[in-house]
Structure 1
Amino acid sequence: MTATPEIMTAFTSGLADINLDESSTPRQGGKAAGMKKASATIYDMAATLSGGGDLWNWGMYDAGIAEEIRALLPGFGEPWTDGFSQQLYFLALRDLPVGLDGLAGRDVLEVGCGIGGGLDFLSRIVPGARMTGLDLSPVAITRANATLARGDSLRFVHGDAEELPFEDASVDVLVNIESSHTYPDLGRFLREVERVLRPGGHLSHIDVFTRQRYAAMRKTAAEIDGLEWTTDHDISAEVRAAVRRRMAPGSHFRKKLERQRLNPLMRQIVAHSQILMFGGMFAGYRPNSTIRALSRIGVVPWMSGLPMESYRHQIAVRR
């Protein structure tokens, strides 16, 4: 399973098209289908190659939140994980008005669950909830069901964020983390959220934004009558703190790379690629002289990505 240059080009050009246009114009037809096909292919490959672990998103660092998690899960953290991706997931439920205790017996849906590690973590934070993960990648869903699913308490289904395969008013909490910036039609996704949430249910939306995408998000959200937006917190500082800690010498991320059977040069290339993928530019990353030299001869990309300006946690309630 390979992401061809054509697929990569379709994906990166689609991301730019979506995130650099603040008009909130929906991408439909062939353009939307091409972006979704490229996304599914790339995330199929990621699901195949991923060893699991704890690198699911850019993460966040907040010492207080880490302590709250340890109180619920004694032993949480090193040497098994740096905990940054988990803190972001914990925030998605922690700040809901119902509180963690109020989620027992509720139906929680994550849209864009990947291989399911984040939702599996949340299922241990709130063991009494019924949790379902959905993703566009069939390989990710197959893997999640094979390795993590536990009956009605944790299950995974294949589907499209813009066409959710769930009945009206069937979900109490919908979680969407670092995913919606890839959706061709953000308004269609939010209308699906409005449809599947029960009255009084909540959307917990966490994502990274260009200036243009944030303007489009605000405009689109205001057009969805059934959702009342109650929270819009900028958590950029906490996200940058996590990314910088991952990049630092001696970090959990660096130690994991050192344990892999890679020669020193390949280890630098892998580290550079993952840092770019998981928020390096957002946190001020600059490659070292070796990577700069390799980039000049086309071995690795110099820098990549979109001009992301903020990382936000937004909460809406279904009227």
Structure 2
Amino acid sequence: MNRPDVMTSFTTGLADINLDETDGRRAGAQAAAMKSASSSIYDMAATLSGRGELWNWGMCDPDLAAEIEARLPGFAEFGTDGFSEQLYYLALRDLPGGLDGCAGQTLLEVGCGAGEGLNFLSRLVPDTRMTGLDLSPRAVARANATLARGDSLRFVQGDAEDLPFEDSSVDLLINIESSHTYPDLDRFLREVARVLRPGGALSHIDVFTRQRLQTMRRITAELPQLTWATDHDVSAAVRAAVRRRMTPGSRFRRTLDRQRMNPLVRTIATHSQILMFGGMFAGYRPPASIRALSRLGVVPWMSGLPMESYRHQVAVRV
């Protein structure tokens, strides 16, 4: 499958998953096609992205940034704008035991990508044994080659809907901006409940369409093994981060500008990156040059799913 076919399959699958009005389950050839496309997309991302580049849409909360700065002085001064780190920090801070309660625990991130987010968390809570899992073989290979540190930080390839871990073997599980790509959300959450120890916790952060949120709430109501402690809408802070990144002169824009491209290619690349990292969610409207190119069929003018909220939800295994 070539790159345009992969992208078409991925975007079609995303729309099918997130606009579904029925039960939120996809199986068989349909699910396999989406997973294959997703793996290929993130294989390409792992190959093309630089060390420490964007891991998620991020969030902009001055209080969170100050808390991280107190623990890791200067964390946002080199190679990052600090927004992606804030989402990862939130994932642990709002667990029942907070960051300090992570000491001596086993933590699994499902959907870890190239491992940069989990590597950041390993600096915050160094006594926690961390494992990252991702569907993309290339992302996992890169993470193990550049970030792994024995049993304290390791990465494995696997499927979120069929976790390669024993029952009740994990204390903490995080899932950040990943589950909206899963064909069967119910199966994923049942796998979470299976691998968590009683009293263990899930920190789930993702973006939702209206339909996907309805599916999530129906599934969680029917899953007695997990008790949902919190459900916070963090959309405003996420939109603030995306808008900061879209601003000319931001670290995000400067990184794109440094790449060797002719002006037309750079315009298209910038537009594509803004769409990929939450532009539509934050009110992005393409410039006149992109609108002109869209009329010629060179690029899509408006694209993206109607994502309505970005949420942080915490559950405890009964």
- What is the TM-score with the length of structure 2 in the denominator? 0.97
CA offsets 1:141-193 (integer angstroms, 9 cap, x no match): 01100010000110000000000000111111100001101111111100000
- How many positions carry a matched residue from both structures? 318
User: What is the correspondence of 1:226-305 to structure 2 with a 5 Å cutoff?
Assistant: 226-305=225-304
Q: In the alignment, what sits opposite 1:218?
A: 217
Q: In the alignment, what sits opposite 1:164?
A: 163
2:32 aligned with 1:33: yes
Q: In the alignment, what sits opposite 2:18?
A: 19
2:307 aligned with 1:308: yes
Would the aligned equivalents of 1:3 and 1:42 in 2 still touch at CA under 8 Å? no
The 2-side partners of 1:70 and 1:4 are apart by 40
The 2-side partners of 1:90 and 1:32 are apart by 32
2:105 aligned with 1:106: yes
User: What is the correspondence of 1:90-101 to structure 2 with a 5 Å cutoff?
Assistant: 90-101=89-100
Aligned AA for 1:167?
E
SS of match in other structure, 2:308: strand
User: What is the correspondence of 1:50-129 to structure 2 with a 5 Å cutoff?
Assistant: 50-129=49-128
SS of match in other structure, 1:172: strand
The 1-side partners of 2:202 and 2:121 are apart by 15
Aligned AA for 2:111?
G
Query: Offset at 1:287?
Result: 1.1
The 2-side partners of 1:59 and 1:33 are apart by 29
The 2-side partners of 1:263 and 1:79 are apart by 27
Aligned AA for 2:50?
G
Would the aligned equivalents of 2:95 and 2:201 in 1 still touch at CA under 8 Å? yes
Query: Offset at 1:14?
Result: 1.1
2:160 aligned with 1:155: no
Aligned AA for 1:302?
W
The 1-side partners of 2:24 and 2:72 are apart by 44
- What is the TM-score with the length of structure 1 in the denominator? 0.97
Would the aligned equivalents of 2:24 and 2:185 in 1 still touch at CA under 8 Å? no
User: What is the correspondence of 1:182-193 to structure 2 with a 5 Å cutoff?
Assistant: 182-193=181-192
User: What is the correspondence of 1:173-184 to structure 2 with a 5 Å cutoff?
Assistant: 173-184=172-183
Query: Offset at 1:218?
Result: 0.2
Query: Offset at 1:293?
Result: 1.2
The 2-side partners of 1:9 and 1:22 are apart by 22
Aligned AA for 2:203?
S
Aligned AA for 1:148?
L
The 2-side partners of 1:146 and 1:265 are apart by 35
Aligned AA for 2:169?
S
Q: In the alignment, what sits opposite 2:200?
A: 201
Query: Offset at 1:3?
Result: 4.5
Would the aligned equivalents of 2:24 and 2:212 in 1 still touch at CA under 8 Å? no
Identical-pair percentage? 74
The 2-side partners of 1:211 and 1:25 are apart by 12
The 1-side partners of 2:101 and 2:264 are apart by 50
The 1-side partners of 2:101 and 2:24 are apart by 37
Query: Offset at 1:265?
Result: 2.7
The 2-side partners of 1:62 and 1:54 are apart by 20
Query: Offset at 1:299?
Result: 1.9
Structure 2 spans left out of the alignment, 5+ residues: none
Query: Offset at 1:7?
Result: 2.2
- Which 4+ stretches in 1 moved above 6 angstroms? none
Aligned AA for 2:98?
G
Would the aligned equivalents of 2:24 and 2:186 in 1 still touch at CA under 8 Å? no
CA offsets 1:182-234 (integer angstroms, 9 cap, x no match): 11111110000000001110000000000000000000111111000010000
Q: In the alignment, what sits opposite 1:144?
A: 143
Would the aligned equivalents of 1:135 and 1:141 in 2 still touch at CA under 8 Å? yes
CA RMSD of superposed structures (Å) = 1.2
Query: Offset at 1:79?
Result: 4.5
Would the aligned equivalents of 1:181 and 1:208 in 2 still touch at CA under 8 Å? yes
CA 9–255 in structure 1, closer or farther in 2 if over 3 Å, else same: closer
Structure 1 spans left out of the alignment, 5+ residues: none
The 1-side partners of 2:230 and 2:276 are apart by 27
SS of match in other structure, 1:150: coil
